[in-house]
Structures are given as C-alpha cells and as structure tokens.
C-alpha cells in the first residue's frame, strides 16, 4: 500500500498556492510626492481623482477617471486568512508522535501505524483549503480513543473547540459514506472459504455451509429527550441503542445495523433490518447461525439457532455444543471492538443520540481496518459481563417467515453422523 504524504507537506503546498507574489503588489504616489521625487505608499485613489499603477517597466503612467469610477475599498488578503486557518503547531506531543516514524501510535491513537496508513488511504480526498485530511483523521481517532470532550481534544491539538466538533462530525460522515469498502457481504467466490472457517470454528464439517454468525448487543447512550426516551431503557434498566452485526469466522464484520432503541428485542431488530426485509443474505444453499434469542428460519433467510430446553436426546445436546462454538466469534468481535474503544463505548456516549449510530458505525469500520492489517486486540476478560450480560426475556411475537426446524433437524443428523468431524480437531464421545 502506497504511503500517504506527510501532513506538513500538504499544508505547505496549500500556503504556497495562495501566497501573494511580490511582483503582484500595486504601488502608487500622489502628484505632490512625484514632483518632489519621493516615493511612498498611497491608497488606490487620492483626492485629485488619479491613480498610479506600476507597469512592467520602470516608467509610471497616469490614468484619470471620474468620480463614479472609484474602485471598491481593498479587501483583506485571502492568504492571511488561510494562513491563520491552516496554521499547524507541530510541537504538540500528539503530533510529534505521528511525525516520528519510529514511534508507536497505539499509546495515543490505539491504532498501529500500518492501520493508520490504511485508514488514510481508504478515505483520502483532495482538499484545496482548510485542514489536511491527515490532521482531521488524527483528531477523530484521538477523540474516539480517549472518550474526551471536544474542548480537551482541541487543547491537545492546539485547535479551536468548534473546529474539533466540526472535524469529528465530518470524519464520521466520511466513514459512513465509505462503510462499504471494509464492511461488505462476501462475494460468491468467497463463500466456500467463509464456510470452511466456521467448520473449523465449530469443529464439525456440517457447518461448512455456515457463512456468518449474527448477534446483537447494547451500546450505552445518553437519555434521549422527549416522550420516547423510555423506549431506550433496556432490560438492564440503562439507556442504550442496539447494534446488530454479522461476523465471519475471523471476527470481521460482514454487515452492521445500528440505531434501534434498547428496549427492542433481537428478533425485532432483525426483522426490521434490510437483511431480513430484502432477503440480502445468505444465498441459497448456505445459512447463518444465531443464538436462541432469534427464531429458527428457512425463509426469507436461512438462520439456524440452538434447540431450546428441555433437550430431547444426546444428538440435540451435541448439536448445541458445536453451534455454540461457531457463535462464540460474535461475542469475541464485540469484545475486541469495545476493548479497543473502551473509553468511548464502556460509558454512555457523550454525543447527541442522533449522532450515536454514526459513532458506533465508525468503531465497526475501524475494527475491520485493524483486523485487515493484523492489528489485534484481545477482549478484556474483566469486561465480559458488559459485553454479554444476562439474556433478555423472549420476544412474545414470532416472525412471519417460514420456520427452519426441518433444516435444523437435518443439520443435527449430519453433526451426529460419523465422518463429519474436522480431523485435527476430532473429539471422542464416550457416552
């Protein structure tokens, strides 16, 4: 991947392109000073209604004009305004770390240098004024990594607080517009590889047709105003919004859906998402797996869930065991994302509730960027309860799709059949 140009070079180019040329300055003199052979600056117009303009030669020419031809007053130089706006203080510690290629960025930005370069390449855009995209990315990631107020981040970068607010919202918008570059459903030629990953994860070849694991978690937010604020109170009596995601076997997000109030059940979030309403995924012949908070479905999407208690026989118990191993990747993905951005995500988001889905989607975007560049973070075991939490009560209303009980029974028979266990992970059942 090509390296991005340094931010100091971009700012220098911006200033050079608008700096006034010395040869473009206009000089003038009054008739009295010209008679005495003295040169001094003068305004564009004098009391006699004459203007002196410098020509390319050393000779000076006089032009006359009438009173209604007086030019407008001079405007403030654009270069001065732009210089003040794009002034960069390279001495602040957070920028010194970035400019020094030998230093690790994880302490201040929680991203490796390789991940940061990949992020800059993904949302690179040409700008002819204002802050360079490098500086805006650094401000946004620093704000996300430390969960600080805009005013504190502004002091860290020596920029106005209003600029920090604008930059954070602009970069979040840019990440949303480029979400499909890193969070996307697998292509048809990639499905077999994704299925093999789940077969190894579940330790049974019957899950080679599983191409995703779905789950939903809570993201804390500030109480919403208005009469609908009670809708955001979840079963743990805190304010939150729902974050639904489909992961592959490596923990990479394939699809995200965020924004529903915390009181909405997992199954209802699924039925309201485009994944269900438009039957986007998985393709025929494949299925995704989910926990017992979801219904077992065959249409409009194939979703396999565990058998509910009480279990009937050893076969169902064995099936649930292998399925739970395949499902473990979703909790690991949520844990990795929340651990990396714990200063922001393990407390109520200090943003407007309408802006919270954009922040959470940005975290998912950066999660995938880090995984694609080998920038791993192990979930903090002390935060496991916050990620998983107790199970909510079942949803009393079921979906209107076709049940997948028969498909699940067929898959259960394959799990119990001999010869379907992955060789190097074979388990012996002595029961």
Kindly give the confidence (pLDDT) of every residue in the chain, 431 residues in length, as a single tens digit, with 9 standing for 90 and above: 445 555 445 444 443 443 444 444 443 444 444 444 444 444 444 433 333 333 333 444 444 444 444 455 554 544 443 334 446 677 899 999 999 999 999 999 999 999 999 999 998 766 545 557 889 999 999 999 999 999 999 999 999 999 999 999 999 999 999 999 999 999 999 999 999 999 999 999 999 999 999 999 999 998 877 667 888 999 888 899 999 999 999 999 999 999 999 999 999 999 999 999 999 999 999 999 999 999 999 989 999 999 998 999 999 999 999 999 999 999 999 999 999 999 999 889 989 888 999 999 999 999 999 999 999 998 887 765 555 444 555 554 456 667 889 999 999 999 988 544 444 444 444 33
pTM for this predicted structure: 0.76
Identify whether the C-beta of residue 326 lies closer than 8 Å to the C-beta of residue 210: yes
Sequence spans of domains, the chain? 21-69, 80-177, 188-424
The answer to whether the bond into 235 is cis (omega within 30° of 0) is no
- For residue 178, the tally of other CB atoms under 10 A from its CB is 15
Residues near 402 by beta carbon (within 8 Å), at least 6 away in sequence: 297, 298, 299
In whole angstroms, what separates CA 286 from the centre of its chain?
29
In whole angstroms, what is the distance from residue 371 CA to residue 115 CA? 9
Residues near 163 by beta carbon (within 8 Å), at least 6 away in sequence: 131, 154
- pLDDT of res. 6: 52
- pLDDT of res. 223: 83
């Amino acid at each position: 991947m090509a390296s991005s140009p340094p931010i100091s070079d971009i700012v220098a180019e911006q200033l050079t392109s608008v700096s006034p040329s010395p040869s473009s300055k206009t000089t003038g003199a009054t008739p009295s000073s010209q008679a005495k052979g003295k040169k001094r600056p003068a305004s564009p117009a004098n009391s006699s209604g004459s203007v002196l303009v410098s020509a390319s030669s050393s000779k000076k020419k006089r032009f006359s004009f009438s009173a209604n031809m007086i030019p407008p007053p001079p405007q403030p130089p654009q270069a001065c305004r732009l210089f003040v706006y794009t002034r960069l203080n390279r001495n602040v510690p957070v920028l010194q770390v970035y400019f020094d290629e030998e230093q690790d960025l994880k302490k201040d930005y929680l991203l490796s240098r390789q991940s940061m370069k990949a992020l800059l390449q993904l949302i690179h855009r040409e700008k002819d004024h204002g802050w360079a995209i490098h500086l805006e990315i650094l401000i946004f990631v620093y704000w996300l990594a430390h969960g600080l107020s805009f005013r504190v981040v502004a002091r860290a970068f020596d920029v106005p607080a209003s600029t920090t607010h604008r930059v954070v919202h602009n970069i979040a918008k840019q990440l949303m517009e480029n979400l499909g570059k890193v969070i996307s459903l697998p292509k048809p030629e990639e499905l077999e590889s994704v299925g093999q990953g789940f077969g190894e994860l579940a330790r049974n070849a019957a899950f080679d047709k599983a191409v995703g694991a779905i789950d939903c978690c809570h993201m804390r937010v500030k109480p919403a105003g208005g009469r609908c604020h009670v809708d955001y109170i979840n079963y743990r009596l805190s304010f939150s919004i729902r974050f639904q995601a489909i992961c592959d076997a490596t923990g990479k997000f394939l699809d995200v859906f965020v924004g529903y109030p915390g009181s909405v059940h997992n199954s209802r979030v699924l039925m309201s998402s485009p994944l269900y309403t438009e039957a986007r995924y998985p393709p025929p012949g494949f299925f995704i797996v989910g926990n017992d908070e979801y219904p077992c479905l065959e249409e409009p999407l194939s979703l396999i869930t565990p058998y509910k208690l009480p279990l009937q026989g050893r076969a169902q118990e064995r099936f649930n065991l292998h399925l739970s191993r395949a499902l473990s990747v979703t909790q690991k993905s949520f844990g990795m994302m929340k651990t990396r951005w714990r200063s922001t995500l393990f407390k109520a988001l200090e943003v407007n509730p309408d802006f919270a889905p954009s922040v959470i989607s940005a975290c998912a975007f950066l999660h995938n960027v880090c995984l694609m560049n080998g920038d791993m973070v192990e979930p903090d075991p002390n935060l496991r309860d916050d990620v998983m939490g107790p199970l909510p009560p079942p949803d009393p209303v079921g979906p209107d799709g076709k049940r997948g009980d028969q498909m699940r029974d067929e898959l259960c028979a394959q799990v119990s059949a001999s010869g379907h266990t992955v060789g190097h992970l074979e388990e012996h059942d002595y029961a």
